[in-house]
Amino acid sequence: MTPALTYSAVSVGYQGTPVLTHVDLELAPGQTVALVGPNGAGKSTLIKSILGLVPVLAGAATVLGDHPAAARGRAGYVPQTDTLDADFPVSVRQVVMMGRYRRIGWWRPAGKDDRRAVSEALDRVGLAGRAGHRFGTLSGGQRQRVLLARAIASEPRLLLLDEPFNGVDAVSQDAIVRVLRDLTGSGTALVISTHDLQVARDLADLVCLINGRQWAAGPPAATLTEQNLRRTYGGSTISLADGRMVLVEP
């Protein structure tokens, strides 16, 4: 089975300057990897490199058996924040249909399969009843679910999510987690950047600790250790209590 993602001794960055180095990672179809590290650690840069938007400066990178840029059309992306203007008169259904544009083209009308994919995606995130509402009238958590539906509508084999739970209410977080588990169950691989160690431990098969470089990677129990977290977060105090891991900034 072809890995969804293989990074071997990879460095990525801008204009020839590395932002993140020493990345070694292999992700199988149906697996989830959580990228964990402080702000500015390189999590978003790594996700953009998987999409072929940031160059690989060293090492070997393969996405869905191909060069990252060549595989972009088979990958879905949920950004940390979306550029859609809340005042722009676009409906929820129209936002989700954007996920089909690579298949149908920008100027061709949507077909039966496209409308079905959009309806199914909205149903999966629990917002089928809001399809005709203006996107800007939704809550932050609902907007994030719409963006997830937009990515799902593209029927990706690999889905990348940049801090998908930031500013999301508990109802929306639970809905997103259910969808993500359903996706992996059907063979979609997930890459999720998160600050939440509990999310990483509960949701991911693999955890990749990064801060300018990869400090550790592997199953959550073996990776989310006090020693690894101290190295990744630069000496922050770690409290491990009641089975939970908490980072306390100095």
How much is the pLDDT for 237?
47
C-alpha distances in angstroms, 157 versus 4, 33, 189? 8, 14, 6
Over range 13-25, report the average pLDDT.
Answer: 95
Find the domain containing 62 and state its range: 5-82+156-248
Identify whether 186 is part of a domain. yes
**Does residue 67 lie within any of the structural domains?**
yes
Sheet holding 189-194, edge to edge: 75-78, 158-162, 189-194, 32-36, 206-210, 214-218
Beta bridge partner(s), residue 58:
11
Total structural domains in the chain? Answer: 1
Residue type, 8: S
Asked if the structure places residue 88 within a domain, the reply is no
Query: What is the model's pLDDT at position 52?
Result: 95
Asked, for residue 114, whether it belongs to a domain, the answer is: no
> Domain holding 215: CATH number?
3.40.50.300
End-to-end Cα spacing for the chain: 45
Question: Is residue 22 domain-resident?
Answer: yes
107 inside domain:
no
Q: Is residue 207 part of a domain?
A: yes
Residue 117 domain flag: no
* pTM for the full predicted model: 0.90
Buried b (16+ CB within 10 A) or exposed e, 103-117: beeeeeebeeebeeb
Confidence grade of residue 102 (pLDDT, cut at 50, 70, 90): confident
pLDDT digits (tens, 9 = 90+) for 143-202: 999 999 999 999 999 999 999 998 888 888 999 999 999 999 999 999 999 988 888 999
Per-residue model confidence as pLDDT tens digits over 198-218: 889 999 999 999 999 999 999
